Structure 1
Amino acid sequence: MRVVSPILLAVLCASVPCNIARAESGSLFSQGNWGGARGGLIATPALSRDSKETPSLFVGRGAAGLFAERPAHEPAFDTASPVLVQGSDVARLRALIGAAESRRDGYEAVQHGARVKTPKPPTQMTLAEIYRWIEETPGQPHAIGRYQFIPATLRRVVAKLGIAPNTRFSPAVQDRLADVLMAEAGLHEFRAGGLGRVAFMNNLAKIWAGLPNATGKSHYHGYAGNRASITWARFDAEMARIDPVVIAGHGVE
């Protein structure tokens, strides 16, 4: 076996960064990802718990990795009133979004990519308990509930409504939070005829990755494995049933 002399080693480390004494990496099979041993097959740089970056399964892709959270959306109507909205159109929208986002588990849904699930069903948890779960399980997606709230959106909308941390994440609370997002997408403007159906649909698609935009794909298609789970034709047909312009002109029920 050839022995590398200390002098040669020093020369090599001067030209190529070395850290023989200590090298950490986040691996495809490392503890903290899938629970295997350290030193797996695909190594990625280790991130501190306070890092704002999201670990990727593929080196160099950063937040676009398979288990990354999608980016937080920017409200189209940031000044939208957070007051409770009601009506048959709201009920239809909730059902449509639920079908696109959490068809199987509804209000108890936790993003399938989350390796560490919630300690109990989401509707039995308080908001504070959900926040704790998020903080204690970094490096995995945390979309939760019927409307698949991601952490940044959940915290923002809860703060906007002034909901206390000890409030249970009940179906009624989830509906109320989703109603705020629908208002931010332009529900009031859509109802008043000041925002067209396609524009409103595109705004909704920027919030919920399971909904397609006018291209027929999710606004987040390919990002962290997201894709639309319903077709544009179905989305448009459902929205036509609540479009005030269509209803006024064609008598749609």
Structure 2
Amino acid sequence: MIVRRFFLLIAIPAAFTAHPLMAESYSLAKANSARISDISFNLHDSGSQGPITLRHVQHVQPVQAKPRSFEIHDGTGATTHLKHLIAWAEAGHKGYDAIQLGAKKLPAKRPTQMTIGEIYAWINQTPNQPHAIGRYQFIPSTLQSLVIQAGISESHKFTTGVQDALADILLEDAGISSFMEGKISRHRFMTNLAKIWAGFPTATGRSHYHGYAGNRAVISWDRFDAIMKKIFPTKRG
């Protein structure tokens, strides 16, 4: 479902520390929200809810899905914040080990303990079910394309570092470099992100893939915009 616009070559270390995306979106219905920092965005699904508020967190405690919160750590980079936001919208509390909830036949191992080849084998052995996997909920066609672009072998484990590196390629596809250079607006970049990650809304308020394989936006456009303004305060809307 992702149209590959170009191939990006990235350098990936030969050895990854034990540290992907898209339309088959992970449900957050019963997931704890991602805990990222000491600035908290209180998010509500309903547009009638109050404005986003900021609060300082002394002790991080698990919270239920409604209201759900997304937090940003001070002192980390904007791209890291954005990847946290993507993971919050897509993977829920399982993060790098998330598998789409519609998958009934699960692999024997956690995704981060599997090799790329083992993931491919699981996909081939379990047809007729969704296979979105990892922190960025990569679907099979996207995963295969990214692995080829990154030059990763099937013997590599699907570690956190590998998943983050593959997500960086997708961010480049979405135009993050052009956005950071001021060549495209924040709203254009947000729309591009929504065409990759089904959990994000377009300006219509709906996911670009609304209704496909159960997908829906998990955040309103206004709140998505408010968080993006916080992450990228100097970039135009």
Using the size of structure 2 for normalisation, the TM-score is 0.69
1:102 maps onto 2:31 in alignment = no
Q: Where does the alignment leave 5 or more consecutive residues of structure 2 unmatched?
A: 13-75
Q: Would you say the 8 A contact 2:100–2:131 is kept in 1?
A: yes
Q: Is 1:171 matched up with 2:160?
A: yes
Match of 1:247 in 2: 234
What is the count of residue pairs matched by the alignment? Answer: 173
Structure 1 residue 210 corresponds to structure 2 residue 199 = yes
- 1:119 Cα offset (Å): 1.1
- Change in 2 beyond 3 A, CA 1:241/1:115: same
Q: Which has the higher contact order (CA 8 A, sep 6+)?
A: 2
How many percent of aligned residue pairs carry the same amino acid? 50
1:141 to 1:92, Cα distance in 2 relative to 1, 3 A: same
The whole-number CA distance in structure 2 between the counterparts of 1:144 and 1:79 is: 22
In the alignment, is the contact (CA less than 8 A) between 2:113 and 2:159 conserved in 1? yes
Moved over 3 A (4+): 79-84
* Structure-2 separation of matches of 1:93 and 1:223: 24
- Equivalents in 2 of 1:165, 1:113: separation in Å? 25
**Native 8 Å contact 1:81 1:183 kept in 2:** no
**Distance of aligned partners of 1:79 and 1:120 in 2 relative to their CA distance in 1, 3 Å threshold:** closer
Compared with structure 1, are the counterparts of its residues 187 and 81 closer, same or farther at alpha carbon in structure 2 (3 Å cutoff)?
A: farther
Deviations 1:75-130 (A, max 9, x none): 4x52555457xx71110111000000011211010000001011110000000000
- Residues of 2 paired with 1:230 and 1:136: CA distance? 34
- Structure 2 Cα separation of the partners of residues 79 and 145 of structure 1: 22
Shift of 1:201: 0.6
State the distance in 2 between where 1:248 and 1:218 align: 23
Q: Amino acid of the residue matched to residue 74 of structure 1? A: V
Which one has a bigger Cα radius of gyration? 1
Give the aligned partner of residue 195 of structure 1: 184
1-structure distance, mates of 2:8, 2:115: 26
**Local SS of the residue matching 1:148:** coil
* Conservation of the 8 A alpha-carbon contact between 2:146 and 2:169: yes
Contact 1:212 1:230 in 2 (8 A): yes
Partners in 1 of 2:138 and 2:6 — Cα distance?
17
